[in-house]
Chain A
């Protein structure tokens, strides 16, 4: 495995479901990110983790809950989502928080019904 991987690639969930997105990076990086990509909007940064510590939370609703158990893995736990949360959720990593060259996973296409 190389680079940044994300599972699942596609997810359909009801508003009352609980699901988790998983991201794994094999680059030896120390910073990891969750982004939301919606149509006609720029990438929206959701969370930043540096050395497993959350360093940024961009006013994301509490129905999104991140978890970073180690520097290689990042999760996004989802519960009671809304249809407007349907989007492509991208994970990225960088060498450290101050390094701006980010490497992205393929994303999880989430549809909330």
Chain B
């Protein structure tokens, strides 16, 4: 079974602080997505990374894909209360054919004003 571990599981910070959350696996991803899910809603796609070492930015969010394509990180600069939510990573494992995405359990972020 290919697993996708996310850490930390919970994170509570003050507005204006920076934070990083992680997504790791022992297997290689062909692509990896990050989603944010707010309470009472479905996950919303934030970014897709496919190339080892790739860095993508979305306003205050910076996504990095590991060189070996086994891990990824999401860094948020100057967090705001609107960043509160469940951050999910989901991976398509290399050589898995049409096997659907595997999701992590998520990091639940709370940004306090």
Contact = CB atoms under 8 A, between A and B. Distances in A.
Interface of A: 4, 6, 33, 40-43, 45, 48, 55-56, 90, 92, 97-98, 100-107, 109
Interface string B40-74: 11111100100000000000000000000000000
Contacts of B101: 45, 100, 102
B23 to A, nearest CB: 12
Interface residues of B, number: 22
10 contacts: A6-B42, A45-B100, A48-B100, A56-B100, A98-B98, A102-B33, A102-B45, A104-B35, A105-B42, A109-B40
A48 B40 CA distance: 23
A101 to B, nearest CB: 6
B105 interface: yes
Given A100-B92, A102-B90, A105-B42, 5 more contacts: A42-B102, A45-B101, A90-B42, A92-B42, A101-B33
Contacts of A40: 105
Contacts of A56: 100
Contacts of A4: 42
B80 interface: no
B55 to A, nearest CB: 19
A94 B6 CA distance: 24
Interface in B56-113: 88, 90, 92, 98, 100-106
